[in-house]
């Protein structure tokens, strides 16, 4: 005889689960990433689009991909979510993090100048070089020109501990809070034993590694006034207040630096969007193989926010091993950013702002000319 018939617990109605992904932006990101990988004959690519005010993932796409409705010829390597599982050295996209530490220290402003002559510095047996001798540069132009020498000198002046602290606060070397299986936390080495050359190389993104999602989270913080939100793929009705990582004033200065990168003379001019002011940072890093860095294989990166004055989204584009004549981040990844932002701004019903800002720039230039500074 079996006793005790009856419900163990009264059934409760379940709740709806809604993804944070915006289907329209997801399609747009997937399409543009696929086109770029094919055009540049690249091995792979990833793109992440975040809502800058909440940390919600609006789009996340990878190439090569697969069709879950047709499993006949699926390649297992294509099943992983590269944006979350694959790590890479973020290269020059980290220079904005180093500059953030410099601004926070109060020792520097965007107008502070450094002499980068003769275009290289020697630290032990290693030489750190710029593309050419830029001479004296302000911090703003160190970012716009992507000067390794300028960024290294700043980091060496600040110390490795200060640089490491900023990187860690921006989310590197730790989980993003997304809770997705297989997420990599990347690698941020302990700064206690850094040699000068390691401090310098770390300042422009070599010696650590990160995922595309971590890099997107960092740019979300840099662009939104300095607030760190946990990232999520599930839409939540509860608002997260986030954690204040940077001051709003530092974030505003960093956005000015981002804007300079895509302006005339900057390395990311191809990231410009017809009706919107945007900003970001280019990156080009050597790929890593079994025997170390590959001399002729690169990853092209672009990370940025839009619109630049009142950002709504943060985007990271990674193109792995482009095989064509172009391989720099400003040539390969920046145009993908531009096209995705152009479509996403319309889909999100964001008012164009470029014409208004162009008028302000014209007024400033006219005033400078009248005062003899043109």
- Enter the pTM of the model: 0.90
Ordered DSSP codes for 98-123: HHHHHHHTTS--TT-EEE-TTSEEEE
Say which residues have a Cβ less than 8 Å from residue 75's Cβ, sequence separation at least 6: 64, 66
Q: Is 211 left (phi over 0), alpha (psi -120 to 50) or beta?
A: beta
Please give, one letter per residue, the 3-state secondary structure of 258-280.
HHHHHCCCCCCHHHCECCECCEE
- Give the separation between CA 342 and CA 373, rounded to whole angstroms: 34
Q: Which residues are catalytic?
A: 92
**DSSP secondary structure code for residue 78 in this structure:** G
User: What pLDDT is stored for residue 358 in this prediction?
Assistant: 53
Q: Report mean pLDDT in 10-residue bins for the chain, 374 residues.
A: 70 89 97 97 97 96 91 84 96 98 97 96 93 96 97 97 97 94 95 94 96 98 96 85 94 97 96 96 93 91 97 98 94 98 97 67 44 40
- Give the separation between CA 346 and CA 273, rounded to whole angstroms: 12
User: What pLDDT is stored for residue 69 in this prediction?
Assistant: 87
Alpha carbon dihedral 185, 61, 303, 331, in 10-degree steps, equals 130
Q: To 10 degrees, what angle do helices 248-262 and 212-223 make?
A: 110
User: What pLDDT is stored for residue 10 in this prediction?
Assistant: 84
Residue 368 tokens read as: 């400078």
- Give the separation between CA 219 and CA 234, rounded to whole angstroms: 21
User: What pLDDT is stored for residue 369 in this prediction?
Assistant: 37
Say which residues have a Cβ less than 8 Å from residue 372's Cβ, sequence separation at least 6: none
Burial class (CB in 10 A: 0-12, 13-18, 19+), 196: middle
């Amino acid at each position: 005889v079996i006793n005790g018939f009856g419900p163990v617990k009264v059934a409760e109605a379940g709740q709806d689960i809604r993804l944070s992904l915006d289907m329209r932006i997801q399609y747009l990101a997937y399409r543009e990433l696929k086109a770029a990988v094919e055009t540049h004959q690249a091995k792979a690519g990833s793109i992440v689009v975040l809502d800058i005010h909440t940390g919600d993932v609006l789009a996340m796409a990878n190439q090569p991909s697969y069709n879950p409705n047709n499993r006949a010829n699926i390649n297992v390597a294509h099943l992983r979510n590269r944006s979350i599982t694959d790590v890479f050295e973020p290269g020059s996209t980290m220079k904005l993090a180093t500059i953030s530490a410099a601004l926070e220290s109060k020792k520097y402003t965007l107008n502070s100048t450094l002499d980068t002559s003769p275009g290289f510095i020697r630290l032990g047996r290693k030489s750190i070089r710029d593309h050419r001798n830029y001479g004296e540069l302000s911090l703003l132009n160190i970012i716009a020109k992507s000067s390794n020498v300028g960024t290294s000198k700043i980091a060496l002046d600040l110390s490795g501990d200060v640089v490491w602290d900023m990187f860690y606060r921006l989310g590197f070397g730790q989980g993003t809070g997304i809770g997705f299986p297989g997420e990599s936390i990347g690698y941020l080495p302990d700064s206690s034993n850094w040699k000068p050359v390691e401090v310098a190389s770390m300042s422009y993104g070599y010696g650590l590694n990160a995922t595309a999602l971590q890099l997107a989270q960092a740019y979300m913080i840099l662009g939104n006034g300095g607030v760190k939100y946990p990232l999520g793929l599930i839409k939540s009705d509860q608002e997260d207040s986030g954690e204040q990582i940077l001051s709003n004033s530092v974030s505003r200065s960093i956005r000015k630096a981002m804007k300079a990168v895509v302006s005339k003379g900057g390395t990311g001019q191809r990231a410009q969007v017809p009706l919107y002011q945007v900003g970001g940072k280019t990156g080009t890093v050597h790929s890593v193989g079994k025997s170390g860095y590959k001399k002729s294989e690169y990853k092209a990166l672009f990370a940025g926010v839009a619109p630049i004055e009142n950002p709504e989204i943060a985007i990271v584009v990674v193109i792995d091993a482009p095989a064509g004549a172009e391989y720099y981040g400003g040539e390969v990844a920046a145009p993908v950013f531009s096209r995705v932002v152009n479509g996403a701004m319309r889909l999100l019903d964001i008012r164009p702002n470029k014409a208004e800002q162009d008028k302000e720039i014209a007024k400033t230039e006219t005033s400078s000319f009248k005062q003899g500074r043109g």
